[in-house]
Amino acid sequence: MEGIEKQLNSGDRKGSVWRPAECDVSIRPGWFWHEKENTQVKTPQQLMDLYFVSVGRGASFLLNVPPDPGAVRLHENDVKSLQEFGDKRERCWL
């Protein structure tokens, strides 16, 4: 990938392949679950803003929601934020 970062970020109008844009983001500060981040979960409004600048611009919105270390469940703060984000998103289309 080295050397093509500028091309991947801006595109090539005469290029021969299509590379869809992706917005990879985690609901937490890091990619993996850490107990110390339980109060740092992105808010529903932050998720909505990310949704609009990714999907709204034609990109995929890949949201990482890491489970607890036992991979048994999602933390209640993550679930609450996701539910409220889903509600906000649905209200946009009503």
Alpha carbon distance 79, 26 (integer Å): 13
Alpha-carbon span 94 to 92, nearest angstrom: 6
Q: What is the pLDDT of residue 85?
A: 96
Residue-averaged pLDDT of the chain = 89
How far is it, in rounded angstroms, from Cα 15 to Cα 24?
Answer: 24
* Mean per-residue pLDDT, 58-69: 92
pTM: 0.79
What single letter denotes the amino acid at residue 91? Answer: R
